[in-house]
Structure 1
């Protein structure tokens, strides 16, 4: 079973949706890089950058920008990532508008229209979160929501691509019972991965990545001092500048430690799901399970490498991107399981 269906079997708009997914991956990568490079406030205003469409470049412009924002002087290594990320995100919005127009003009009973409209509305909301990230000075709740919004946007675009691809599993009748039993399991796998991504977002939003600089222990202990009540206090006040974080060490350790435990739970459950998929006895299901397992192994290796090599930004960005691919694998498996057709002697049910 090929990854993509034949041209004749695809629905209208497939290529545009697939291209939008690729752009969404670039936007996500650039957003992660901006965050990890501490460039989230590289431009203290929104939507401009120190009042510029791009960013201040010559000495005169920089002097005026520093005068206007004395508490946030211009740092060129932080202005350009922020603005490039904004423009890439805007281009994704334009592509989604194209998807909506395409869906409406090509409207047929089997052509998705509601999903492109929902994606467009969600991207508008995501743009608002991007603005609040700056105006609320990296408030962790907003930063985490913005990150989750990026993953959600990519997942929705990929779901649209799958629907337009119009490819479904053909499950033999003998495996129907196993298929029905698999449906809640794959949904739970999707939820588990989402929760782990949310934990990762909360970790980076509160600068807890380096709270445990050693592995497998944390600060030389299996159970270091931790403050979960402060680490997961979502009632933090709006107002301080959260650049660099405001939590104490015990709170950040609690967040990082929870992310590690979440990684073990996620790995264990996805390994369980791997074997359940293989029990269907279908080559396409085996392939999907194998792809999921490969992504999981790479993600674990990147997580350990982050710590072993003292969190190099390249590895950290890759860790986020592979996390996105792990989420897409769950979206794909869920879609294929729930749209599978049971073949009863040549009759699709």
Structure 2
């Protein structure tokens, strides 16, 4: 959920930015620009005003202002960045429109009263967290930023509605989803390290090069007995670790922050073992396991419910993603790029 101070800042910026963004469109007033159609999803229109007043676009405007300053509207580079981001936000809005239309078709559209009730709950929670529930302080913060309660409600309404529509569709298309005991057991056996009593970790060193051929040459040098750290300092292209002989220190098995393919290969290594070339998005790695700290694994009975939930969530995400692709392909979608400038 967005911090209210951040939200207030974003909305304050939008008050003056709406009159300047797009002002280079000759012979069009701000009102005409706002009414111009930027996309159609089947028979429903999305206007430039809908786009520029979306919560996502307001965040973009805030980021552009921070990067380019108060006069960002007169900066060509800033306007180009806005155009690119506006196009991306529009794609999201198109997807949301497709979902809304499908939810209406399936008669699972969340009610207006339900959405408003959730909005009230979220704003009340923020009020409590940021202003200790003090309505006077909350109202004063809105007033200082020329922000009305109605505008704040509308921003939250957009986000709550989109999330509720997504949840309803996801539940609908996955209502018959079942995870078997065998699926749970198989996943457990393949990923036991995820359920260790403490966090498993491994001390790694690596050498990064651009091509597989270079990686094979590195492996050959190491197989002939050359020192790993020396070779890393000689050829590794990872500037963060090269001077340290490729030393990455201890890396957690779970939530490592490392490339998934890199970690999958690293976890399999025994102490002192050096990998064959491992391809990732960054290039080719040779990985050495210096040390490992592994802990006992919890019994399946203790984690089976957790695993079942994880597998259900994963399959739900996969299923709804596939369905969204199908629905978008079936929909008649037209974008009017000229109205995004």
Tell me if TM exceeds 0.5. no
Greater share of helix? 1
TM category (shorter chain) comes to: under 0.3
Greater share of strand? 2
TM-score normalised according to structure 2 size: 0.26
TM-score normalised according to structure 1 size: 0.25
